[in-house]
Amino acid sequence: MIEVRELTKQYRDTVAVRDLSFEVPPGVVTGFLGPNGSGKSTTMRMIMGLDRPDHGSVSINGRSYRDLAHPLREVGALLEAKAIHPGRSAYRHLQYLAETNGISRGRVEEVLDMVGLSDVARRRVGKFSLGMGQRLGIAAALLGDPGVLLFDEPINGLDPEGILWVRNLLKGLAAEGRSVFVSSHLMSEMALTADRLVVIGRGALISEGTVDDFIADTAGTYVRVRGPRISEMTEVLEREGASVVDDGDDAIAVHGLDAAAIGELAAAAQLVLHELSPQTASLEEAFMSLTRDSVEYHGRTTDVPVPTAK
């Protein structure tokens, strides 16, 4: 369990993270989503006690990171790919980490096997591909068999087989009752892996909740209506309080009324419909609509007030 409370971090005149609060509960994969530069990595570094927050706190299993006696046995993290001395072998990298936390050599062999690097464990890390570096980083995160795991963009540099492996690994770790926190700027990836979402933009929380809630709350669902006399249909629907947007091609997107109600209204007005189909916004669309402002913001100035709340 990770609890982040009112976290704020400022670098010179840029606010990287602003009054951020959320939780990462055990037993599920919590996706951490935001556009590039929205403060995801900074937040993860603060959780790991690497960066000092200007305000707010993080607790892991009820304690601050600094107070963990054997941090690797409670929290494992993959923060950067290949943040490893290129001249050292994979085995030696894990060995020294194990020694700092009193973890056995047997466990080093075990995690190397889990990530499929046993055959190259004695080779210098400098010769590793990005994907192999990611696997080694994941091995390091798993080393202490921790109950809390953080992964910053774990699928970067992985081939399709590796991506599938990471997805299943994350779900498996959560199914074992661990708190799994994984960041990504790819909504589609999160849709496949995460149960819960924490979405941030410009360092502030935009949304926190389940993936289903997220889709329903943000873009919501709408009904696509198409017919030969669509302008008359639009008048009828607007009279009933629905909001209607042109959807091209004699079609409209209707928010606020469900397909059944629209069908009834069309029949009452004796208007022929060629299409009446409920639409669900994809996670990707929901994410885009939520973070559009945050992304645009990066090209402009830095002192525009940030909307919090979702």
Partner 1 sequence: MTTLTIHPTHTSSAPAGRSHLLRAEWTKLRTVRSTWWTLFAMAVVTLGVAAIAGATVSHNWHSFTIIQRATFDPTGITLKGLLFSQLIIGVLGVLVMSAEYGTGTIRSTLAATPRRARVLGAKAALVGTLSLVVGEVLSFGAFFLGQGLLRAPAPHALLSQPGVLRAVAGGGVVIGLLGLLALGIAAIIRHSAGAITTYVGLLLVVPIILQTLPSSFSQPILKFMPFHISDVMTSVVTAGQGTSLSPWAGAGVLALYALAALGLGGYLLVRRDA
Find the part of the chain contacting partner 1 (CB under 8 A) among 32-40, 94-102, 215-223, 258-266.
94-102
Do the Cβ atoms of 247 and 224 come closer than 8 Å? yes
**Gap between the Cα atoms of 33 and 199, Å rounded:** 5
167-179 burial code (b ≥16 CB/10 A, e <16): bebbbebbeeebb
Decide: is 21 part of the binding site for partner 1 (CB under 8 A). no
Choice from 55, 63, 85, 274 touching partner 1 (CB under 8 A): 85
Q: Which residues on adjacent β-strands are paired with residue 274?
A: none
CB of 53 to partner 1, least distance (A): 10
Choice from 82, 226, 229, 255 touching partner 1 (CB under 8 A): 82
CB of 174 to partner 1, least distance (A): 9
Determine the residue type at 46.
M
**Gap between the Cα atoms of 271 and 233, Å rounded:** 7
Give Cα 187 distance to the centre of its chain: 7
| Number of residues lying near partner 1 (CB under 8 A) | 53
**Gap between the Cα atoms of 310 and 13, Å rounded:** 25
Find the part of the chain contacting partner 1 (CB under 8 A) among 143-151, 198-206, 281-289, 300-308.
143-151
CB of 86 to partner 1, least distance (A): 7
The smaller minimum CB distance to partner 1, of residues 174 and 242, is found at 174
Structure-token pair, residue 242:
């629905």
CB of 90 to partner 1, least distance (A): 11
What is the SS3 assignment for 189? Answer: helix
> What residues numbered 270-289 form the site for partner 1, per CB under 8 A?
none
**Gap between the Cα atoms of 42 and 4, Å rounded:** 13
Nearest to 74 by CA among 143, 21, 174: 143
CB of 211 to partner 1, least distance (A): 16
* CA angle at 47 for the pair 41 and 51, rounded to the nearest 5°: 70
CB of 142 to partner 1, least distance (A): 10
CB of 178 to partner 1, least distance (A): 7
Do the Cβ atoms of 139 and 107 come closer than 8 Å? no
Decide: is 92 part of the binding site for partner 1 (CB under 8 A). yes
Contacts of residue 249, defined as CB under 8 A and 6 or more positions apart, other chains included, come to 226
Integer Rg of the chain from CA:
24
Choice from 3, 10, 19, 26 touching partner 1 (CB under 8 A): 26
Instruction: Give the per-residue contact string, 203-232, with partner 1 (x = CB under 8 A; - = no).
Output: ------------------------------
What is the SS3 assignment for 63? Answer: strand
Instruction: Give the per-residue contact string, 111-140, with partner 1 (x = CB under 8 A; - = no).
Output: -----------------------------x
Instruction: Give the per-residue contact string, 148-187, with partner 1 (x = CB under 8 A; - = no).
Output: ---------------------------xxxx---------
Nearest to 12 by CA among 305, 303, 304: 303
Decide: is 51 part of the binding site for partner 1 (CB under 8 A). yes
Residue ranges in contact with partner 1 by CB under 8 A: 25-28, 45, 48-52, 65-66, 68-73, 75, 77, 79-80, 82-89, 92-93, 95-97, 99-104, 106-107, 110, 140, 144-147, 175-178
